[in-house]
């Protein structure tokens, strides 16, 4: 599988990850963005042996969009700090079933992992292992079939956060059967895309901003090209 590269220098590799590809494989023989990225660098620069490529952020396998990888340990440490301290800016596009009451707003929920069902769930704030999850949304376009295109930004980075919170507010993401969607979407993805990412270059310190084009699987959703 070839990479869709948005930016590359001696410190960074920024790519548009396709849906269906995990950021990092659970097993060594599982194809992932990390292994494909390492193979790309090894071939391009004719490097023998192992190639360093640091994971500083992750997207769910079913989610597409912009991901930054670090080509040095120094870059990885500095980027990880930016993500940990919420100094980066990420915007996701999501097509949901239904529509919010307001054109823009904020959702705050408490979430925890349900080990038995292997999924995240909304819980009481005083529940065991409860973590606060907060996001903001803005309506970009009301689509046909009662669907809505939202821009979503995260204040916290909980596992499956956007998928869970949208579903818990009666707006499951299109195609996300794990969190209650009954509508079909072209597999292996769901209608969730990491559209924009901004952060400081880990060495030069200048502000970098990237936008990942939507996958072709979104073409049938009727999203205006002007957005």
Decide: 175 and 64 in contact? Cβ < 8 Å: no
Q: Are 174 and 181 in contact (CB under 8 A)?
A: yes
Which one, of 93, 91, 107, 221, lies nearest residue 170 by Cα? 107
The set of long-range contacts for 40-44, using a CB threshold of 8 Å and a minimum separation of 24, is 40/3, 41/13, 41/71
Q: 113: helix, coil or strand?
A: strand
Total length of the chain: 227
The β-bridge partners of 55 are 69
- If phi > 0 it is left, if psi is from -120 to 50 it is alpha, else beta; for residue 124 that is beta
Q: Give the Cα separation of 145 and 142 in Å (integer).
A: 9
In the residue annotation, 60 being an active-site residue is answered as yes
Residue 3, phi-psi category: left (phi > 0), alpha (psi -120 to 50), beta (remainder): beta
| Rg value, the chain, Cα | 18
Catalytic residue among 60, 126, 170, 176: 60
Residue positions annotated with a catalytic role: 60
């Amino acid at each position: 599988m070839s990479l869709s590269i948005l930016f590359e220098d001696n410190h960074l590799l920024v790519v548009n990850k396709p849906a269906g590809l995990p950021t990092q494989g659970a097993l060594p023989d599982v194809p992932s963005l990390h292994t494909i990225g390492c193979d790309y660098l090894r071939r391009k620069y004719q490097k023998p042996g192992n190639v360093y490529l640091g994971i500083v952020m992750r997207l769910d396998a079913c989610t597409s969009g912009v991901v930054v990888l670090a080509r040095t340990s120094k870059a990885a440490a500095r980027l990880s700090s930016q993500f940990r301290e919420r100094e980066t800016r990420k915007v996701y596009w999501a097509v949901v079933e239904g529509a919010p009451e307001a054109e823009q707003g904020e959702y705050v929920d408490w979430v925890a992992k349900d080990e038995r069902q292997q999924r995240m769930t909304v819980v009481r704030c005083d529940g065991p292992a409860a973590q606060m999850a907060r996001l903001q949304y803005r309506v970009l376009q009301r689509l046909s079939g009662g669907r809505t295109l939202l821009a979503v930004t995260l204040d916290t980075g909980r596992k499956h956060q956007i998928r869970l919170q949208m579903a818990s507010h009666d707006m499951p993401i299109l195609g996300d059967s794990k969190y209650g969607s009954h509508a079909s979407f072209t597999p292996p993805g769901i209608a969730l895309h990491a559209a924009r990412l901004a952060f400081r270059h880990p060495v030069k310190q200048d502000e970098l901003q990237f936008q990942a084009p939507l996958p072709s699987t979104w073409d049938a959703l009727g999203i205006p090209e002007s957005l």
